[in-house]
């Protein structure tokens, strides 16, 4: 019987196209207590400029989709980490982005529009 492997998300697999010279990417800081996989939609915390997983009910800025994680990372309480993210001028495959559990179609459409305002087009 053949062995079946189930793989997680791979870094950057969601990227369809991006701008020349890595202009689409930035090194960003992921805030504390986060589990981020490649392709996670991120929101930027207004107070300190760090990024968290996009959260629809938040009031700290992370409720506004602003970027997409290229790499995964897990941070503990009080820990932060630096990763590369798509922050502008790219086309991405919407079928392999990671959204928060329970997101509604309207919330997702609003987040996709926010990404588009940054030049990140979800296909």
Specify the CATH superfamily of domain 15-122.
Head decoration protein D (2.40.300.10)
Contacts of 28 (CB under 8 A, 6+ apart): 42, 50, 51, 67, 82, 83, 84, 85, 87
- Per-residue pLDDT tens for 4-63? 988 888 999 999 999 999 999 999 999 999 999 999 999 999 999 999 999 999 999 999
The pLDDT-based confidence of 122 (bands split at 50, 70, 90) is very high
Burial label for 68, CB within 10 Å (0-12, 13-18, 19+), is buried
Domain ranges of the chain: 15-122
Q: Distance (Å, rounded) from C-alpha 83 to C-alpha 94?
A: 21
- Per-residue pLDDT tens for 82-100? 999 999 999 999 999 999 9
For residue 1, pLDDT beyond 90: no
Q: What is the pLDDT of residue 47?
A: 97
CB 44 within 8 A of CB 64: yes
Q: What is the pLDDT of residue 9?
A: 86
Q: Distance (Å, rounded) from C-alpha 28 to C-alpha 74?
A: 14
């Amino acid at each position: 019987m053949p062995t079946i492997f189930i793989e997680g998300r791979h870094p950057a697999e969601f990227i369809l196209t991006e701008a020349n010279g890595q202009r689409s990417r930035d090194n960003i800081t992921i805030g504390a207590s986060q589990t981020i996989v490649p392709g996670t939609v991120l929101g930027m915390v207004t107070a300190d400029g760090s990024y968290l997983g996009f959260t629809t009910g938040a009031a700290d800025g992370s409720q506004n989709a602003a970027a997409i994680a290229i790499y995964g990372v897990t941070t503990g309480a009080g820990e932060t980490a630096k990763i590369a993210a798509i922050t502008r001028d790219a086309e991405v495959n919407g079928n392999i982005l990671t959204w928060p559990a329970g997101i509604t179609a309207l919330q997702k459409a609003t987040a996709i529009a926010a990404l588009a305002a940054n030049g990140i087009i979800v296909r």
